[in-house]
Amino acid sequence: MARASKKESKVVHELKEWGKALVYALVFGTIIRLFMFETMMVPTESMVPTIDPGDRLFVEKVTYQFKEPDYGDIVVFWAPFVDKSALEMLGPFDKFMDLFSPKAFKGHVKYVKRLVGKPGDTIELRVAPEFKNIEDEILSMPHDDQPHYQLYVNGLVLPQLAERRYSREAIFADKDFYLGLAHPDKVYSIYNEFFKYYQRYLDYASYYDSVLSPLDLRKYIWQDPSTKSIKINIPEGFYFFMGDNTGNSFDSRFFGFVPRENIVGEPMLRIWELSRFGPLKEKE
């Protein structure tokens, strides 16, 4: 009888120890998840071929807490507005992981794009050298959804972005684009149908009214009278991101500047699909 009692006590002791280990693992795992790492599912083609739709990424959060991202870095950030269509694409795993998100971003999704503009920069798109022979034809279009353009930052082509080509859409085609996306009734634009369509999927007006409008965007976005190109100055505390797959990327051209506090971190590992598991590598 004593032997059975002793054996039972040992089992209870083992169960308690396993229980403690599980609690410690959950506590430390949660701490690591909150302060060091993040996960995200990529729902769109905006960063093809480096990142494919459906990829799940492991995101390192520490580095950008001590330094700002550099030009050309692929960065994960919280969308500064509610994107209902992207929310519908999240799976149960993604929704569970987002339960740990900061209160300010509850109901938001994470985007992943490439950093092309920092606070204080002035950026513009110019026809890329290989298209100079048809420059007049290209510039005569009200907007151009083909990657005919190269990005200039403070009048220069940066080495990190020299090989990237972009389409002249949204804010680079219409300096009032952000206002139109928020309040379609206040502008007359070539994008009026686009504005009405996206009203169903984005809660953008609240972000525009609370964050962008108080900046007085006329001070930051203007059309150069000599070149007719639209120039954008990035306000302090904000960044400008664009996707590599320019014709299929909903990025800062469409929704505007991203606040510094929205930046999550740098994707370092693809964890799904398993056939492509491994470090995230740049592709051309």
Could you tell me which of 217, 183, 215, 202 has the C-alpha nearest to residue 79? Answer: 202
For residues 34 and 223, give the distance between their C-alpha atoms in angstroms, rounded to a whole number. 43
- Asked if 118 is an active-site residue, the reply is no
For residues 108 and 86, give the distance between their C-alpha atoms in angstroms, rounded to a whole number. 9
Dihedral over Cα of 137, 140, 144, 149: its sign? positive
For residues 247 and 99, give the distance between their C-alpha atoms in angstroms, rounded to a whole number. 32
Q: Which three-class secondary structure state does DSSP give residue 174?
A: coil
Contacts of 269 (CB under 8 A, 6+ apart): 57, 58, 277, 278, 279, 280
Under DSSP, the state recorded for 156 is B
- Asked if 46 is an active-site residue, the reply is yes
| Contact (Cβ atoms closer than 8 angstroms) between residue 87 and residue 78 | no
Residue that the structure tokens 């398993």 belong to: 274
For residues 266 and 68, give the distance between their C-alpha atoms in angstroms, rounded to a whole number. 11
CA dist 165 → 95, 133, 143, 263 (Å): 34, 17, 15, 24
Under DSSP, the state recorded for 49 is T
Paired with 156 in beta bridges are 153
Choice among 46, 167, 189, 249 that is catalytic: 46
Choice among 61, 113, 249, 252 that is catalytic: 113
Instruction: Report, as residue numbers or ranges, the catalytic residues.
Output: 46, 113
